[in-house]
Copies of this chain bind each other. A is one copy, B any other.
Amino acid sequence: MALINYSDLNDILESILLKTGFTKEESVLTAKIFADSTADGYHSHGVNRFPVFLKTITDGYVKLGEQPERELALGSFERWNGKLAPGPLTAHFCMNRTIELAKESGMGCVALQNGSHWMRGGSYGWQAADAGCIAMCFTNTMPNMPSWGAKEANTGNNPLIMAVPSENGHIVLDMSLSQFSYGKMEKYAMDGKDLPFDGGFNSEGEHTKNPSDILGTKRLFPTGYWKGSGMSILVDLLVTILSSGKSTAQIGELEAEYGLSQVFICFDSAQMNDGSKHKALVDEIINHITSAMPEQEGRTIEFPGSQTKKRRVEHMKNGIPINDNVWEEILRLSNQ
């Protein structure tokens, strides 16, 4: 395991992006999004995925030089066409525009068609919260999960993000709608461990904690069985209709996962409550959560974003642990 300094990671990613054909400004922002995700501990959508991200560009599924274009404006709702530009740039742009709309009139929404994979959705939740906004974001994916009662992947694990700004560290939920992500199951399989809970079906159609069995059948459980299944269908409907873009079904007909539909919603917290009232409301909820009796004596009670913040502080101070093979690949890309 290499231990890499944040700014070294950021600089090397930026230099690779420049060489790949990103503009200076695009390289700076894209490198920051990947480096931040890694510093926050989301390696699977940070540095580990960076080589795959570059490959979607050389393969032509993600297009450099394209800018989002507005297709529709209805008050504080707008629809944009992402034109398959790099996902993190487009999602960051859309969240920025959503924040602007919310600052203008309390609330804003941007729906994006022809988006690309946004990598870590939480990035845009933290972005909104940094700007003082309460946010929700949704994306669809290729079909990668069976809906409840189905045997084959007919829906996506369509992630959703919810974010609330707080002086003491934003509260940011970033979750896919499968019980375990493919990345997490691969990690457990690599470590030779069982999942902590049943995560899907084995080839006999039985529920299992064995991650390799589930990776084999691709029959993973939705979050909370029928509940996450229902949510995944509704998230796909929401993003597809608002963006007038591609559904999970349509993405499944393509040769790779591209042209996603995404939705960004913001509320300007400063227009909802004055600062001290906002702080009081947030603190009361979070204190009520964390001051409850823990399940295991001596353990802290966590909430969405609390562990992210701890990891970030630790990694900024002591360096970010990165898998040796991943780091060698980054160095190779840098020296190419």
Known: A237-B164, A278-B241, A295-B205. A230 touches B147 (CB 8 A): no
B contact residues around A190 at 8 Å (CB): none
Known: A149-B295, A289-B154, A295-B205. A281 touches B77 (CB 8 A): no
Interface residue tally on A, bucketed by range:
35 or more
Q: A225 touching B197 by the CB < 8 A rule?
A: yes
| Nearest B-chain residue to A154, judged by Cβ | B292
A115 interfacial by beta-carbon distance below 8 Å: no
Q: A289 touching B241 by the CB < 8 A rule?
A: no
Q: B154 touching A238 by the CB < 8 A rule?
A: no
Chain A residues 246 to 289 lying within 8 A of chain B, measured CB to CB, are 247-250, 252, 265, 267, 269, 271-273, 277-278, 281-282, 284-285, 287-289
A27 interfacial by beta-carbon distance below 8 Å: no
Q: A289 touching B247 by the CB < 8 A rule?
A: no
Copies in the complex: 2
Q: B247 touching A284 by the CB < 8 A rule?
A: yes
Contacting residue for A76 out of B75, B134, B147, CB 8 A: B75
Q: How far is the CA of A242 from the CA of B162 in the complex (A)?
A: 14
Known: A106-B75, A233-B289. A250 touches B171 (CB 8 A): no
B contact residues around A227 at 8 Å (CB): 175, 179, 223-224, 228
A79 nearest CB across to chain B (Å): 8
Q: How far is the CA of A227 from the CA of B303 in the complex (A)?
A: 10
Q: B134 touching A106 by the CB < 8 A rule?
A: no
Q: A74 touching B106 by the CB < 8 A rule?
A: yes
1/0 per residue, CB under 8 A from B, across A157-197: the answer is: 00000101000000101010001000000000000000001
Contacting residue for A109 out of B107, B236, B300, CB 8 A: B107
B contact residues around A171 at 8 Å (CB): 233-234, 237
1/0 per residue, CB under 8 A from B, across A190-228: the answer is: 000000010000000100000000000000001111011
Q: B249 touching A285 by the CB < 8 A rule?
A: yes
1/0 per residue, CB under 8 A from B, across A102-117: the answer is: 0011110100000000
B contact residues around A153 at 8 Å (CB): 292
A304 interfacial by beta-carbon distance below 8 Å: yes
A209 nearest CB across to chain B (Å): 12
Contacting residue for A224 out of B223, B240, B288, B292, CB 8 A: B223
1/0 per residue, CB under 8 A from B, across A294-316: the answer is: 11100111111000000000000
Most-contacted residue by chain B among A171, A224, A273 (CB, 10 A): A224
* A interface residues, Cβ below 8 angstroms from B: 74-77, 79, 104-107, 109, 134, 136, 143, 146-155, 162, 164, 171, 173, 175, 179, 197, 205, 222-225, 227-228, 230-231, 233-238, 240-242, 244, 247-250, 252, 265, 267, 269, 271-273, 277-278, 281-282, 284-285, 287-289, 291-296, 299-304
Q: Could you list 6 further interchain pairs (A-B, Cβ under 8 angstroms) beyond the known A149-B295, A179-B224, A223-B227?
A: A76-B107, A77-B107, A146-B295, A147-B292, A237-B282, A247-B285
19 A-B contact pairs sorted by A residue (CB < 8 Å): A74-B106, A77-B105, A77-B106, A134-B238, A134-B242, A149-B296, A150-B295, A151-B295, A162-B238, A173-B233, A175-B230, A233-B303, A236-B285, A237-B282, A242-B272, A247-B281, A247-B288, A250-B284, A265-B265
